[in-house]
Structure 1
Amino acid sequence: MKGFQTKLDNIGNNIANVNTYGFKKGRVTFQDMMSQTMSNAQGPIQNDAGDENIRGGLNPSQVGLGSQVGSIDTIHTQGNRQTTNRPLDLSLEGDGMFVLAEGGADGINPGDPLTLGSVNTSFTRAGNFYLDSDGAIVNNEGKYLIGEVDGSPGAITIPDEAQSFSIQTDGTVNYVDENGEPEVAGQVRLANFSNPSGLEKLGGNSFQYTENAGEPIDALEDLLVAGQDGTGQMVSGALEMSNVDLAESFTEMITSQRGFQANTKIITTSDEILQELVNLKR
């Protein structure tokens, strides 16, 4: 019953985030617990001469002791793309994650390594970004979008005097200055992990690096250009939606509910049997 309750909690969280940008659904798996052995397996019994079997072998007799939660996985499949026509909305078509960092736009010093072990560095698939008062690109929590700025990792900033800006499929952020000349503010870089399921959810649509996610990223050279080295293309003016399938979630919810109810019925039936045993003595 506890295992089914955990699965229902997970399904409820998936359904609650069906409209969360870049959300990756969870999945609960079960495994059986150690079984109580009533009798061990036996091989065939041979006669004294050892040239023929006088009795065949026997299979083990075991009674299972229940089930337990085996794992709670994060499924990093692609979500559907929703067109918004907003230039700061970015969607990734394929592998890769945006890199976020806390600290002022001037606090991310050029040449400093991006230490993934720090909680100040996180990763996300949610591409709804904004501009702050300094012109830096941030997410809805004020974390800075990290990319290449003048050959070093840093926050990408669009000057106040820029007349317009655009973001290309490779992450290059272009803008037109006050003189009408095209300029480059920087290039959004991506992180890619061999095992994205090894990342930990931090809340706020972001993930934290763990040692089981893959090789650590210690410098700008470890960040990738969108569309290269196995990463997906970056699409401006669109957002990646949640990968939760409502039909699948409702089906699993009903199955889990029935399983929970069946387990409660087992308790009721066992109680009735014990009551019958007590009545035998009367």
Structure 2
Amino acid sequence: MLRSMYSGVSGMKGFQTKLDVIGNNIANVNTTGFKSSRVMFKDILSQTAAGATGATAEVGGSNAKQIGLGVSIGSIDTLHLAGSAMTTNNPTDLRIDGDGFFAVGLTAETDPENAFLTRAGDFHVDGQGNLVNSDGLFVLNTDGAVINVPTGSSFSIGSDGTVAMKDEAGEVNTDNRLAVVVVRNPEGLEKAGGNLYRVGLNAMPDGEEITFEAGDANAMAGKIVAGQLEMSNVDLTGEFTEMITAQRGFQANSRIITTSDEVLQEVVNLKR
């Protein structure tokens, strides 16, 4: 009887975590570049009441008798599916049509291993002419340096990440190219808040380093689309369906605890 109560507790904890993840997904339904998450369950090691026996010529075999001990969280996966495109016509709003990530850094010169990755391309030009994100982090080029727009220059960003700057004399400079990072296992990235990711231990193979690539250096990186933003990939219909399922699961597991308690009460009352 105590087993059923503890199984119910584990189920309630699991569905509470699922509701936490669903709530975070729904809260970020309009967050630029947000990637939704999901919770996967796994059963806890079962208690074996009797082992299996093999069949012989004289006696048939029997299966093991096992009692499950509840559920636990198997994984919390980040789904790196592309979000829908929103056209803004703002030249500093960028979207990656592919699997790559923009690279941003805390300093104007940032090594790849110290960079943050993001799919949110709502960039701006600050007072010093630097291309930055909404939090003031520097948008990096393929050399790991900040992209600076001189005063009086008009600029555009091509599909391969090339930043074309036209000065007052009419000369065009195309030395800068946006860095686009390709990660072998995007689910291995760790969320750092502010639409940023850190490269986790399971994001890249052992010995392989993160590199700042140009937009066309790798087919997986994809093309850069100026004047558009990638919106959240949260599917509200699916999230509300999962929320109802989690709510019912939580209620059912609470009923297990209530029923087990009632049965235990009956056992206690047998002495009266």
Q: Structure 2 unaligned segments of length 5 or more: list them.
A: 1-11
The residue that corresponds to 1:89 in the other structure is 93
The residue that corresponds to 1:19 in the other structure is 30
The residue that corresponds to 2:152 in the other structure is 161
1:169-222 CA deviation, whole Å, 9 max, x = no partner? 00111122112232225110111011011111000000011221115546xxx3
Q: After the TM superposition, which of the residue ranges 183-192 and 29-38 deviates more from structure 2?
A: 183-192
TM-score where L is the length of structure 2: 0.91
**1:146 and 2:140 matched:** yes
The residue that corresponds to 2:117 in the other structure is 123
- In our comparison, the structure showing a higher alpha carbon Rg is 1
CA pair 182-96 structure 1, distance change in 2 beyond 3 A:
same
The residue that corresponds to 2:214 in the other structure is 225
* Bigger fraction of residues in helix: 2
Alignment map for 1:159-238 (pairs within 5 Å): 159-162=150-153, 164-184=154-174, 186-215=176-205, 216-217=208-209, 222-229=211-218, 230-238=220-228
The residue that corresponds to 1:48 in the other structure is none
What amino acid does structure 2 have at the position aligned with 1:76? H
* Bigger fraction of residues in strand: 1
Q: Distance in 1 between matches of 2:46 and 2:106?
A: 50
Q: Distance in 2 between matches of 1:223 and 1:185?
A: 15
What amino acid does structure 2 have at the position aligned with 1:158? V
Tell me the SS of whatever aligns to 2:254. Answer: helix
1:77-107 CA deviation, whole Å, 9 max, x = no partner? 111111100000000111100001112x4xx
Residue correspondences, number: 258
The residue that corresponds to 1:254 in the other structure is 244
Shift of residue 40 of structure 1? 0.4
The residue that corresponds to 2:234 in the other structure is 244
- Aligned Cα root-mean-square deviation (Å): 1.3
1:50-95 CA deviation, whole Å, 9 max, x = no partner? xxx2221000011100000011111111111111000000001111
State the 4+ residue runs in structure 1 displaced beyond 4 angstroms. none
Sequence identity (%): 50
Q: Distance in 2 between matches of 1:194 and 1:60?
A: 42
Tell me the SS of whatever aligns to 1:99. Answer: strand
Tell me the SS of whatever aligns to 1:82. Answer: strand
Tell me the SS of whatever aligns to 1:261. Answer: helix
What amino acid does structure 2 have at the position aligned with 1:32? D
TM-score where L is the length of structure 1: 0.88
1:243-281 CA deviation, whole Å, 9 max, x = no partner? 110000000000000000000001110111111111221
Q: Distance in 2 between matches of 1:223 and 1:190?
A: 6
Q: Is the 8 A contact 2:43 2:70 kept in 1?
A: yes
Q: Distance in 2 between matches of 1:67 and 1:246?
A: 26
Q: After the TM superposition, which of the residue ranges 173-182 and 232-241 deviates more from structure 2?
A: 173-182
Q: Structure 1 unaligned segments of length 5 or more: list them.
A: 46-52
Q: Distance in 2 between matches of 1:278 and 1:153?
A: 71
CA pair 185-88 structure 1, distance change in 2 beyond 3 A:
farther
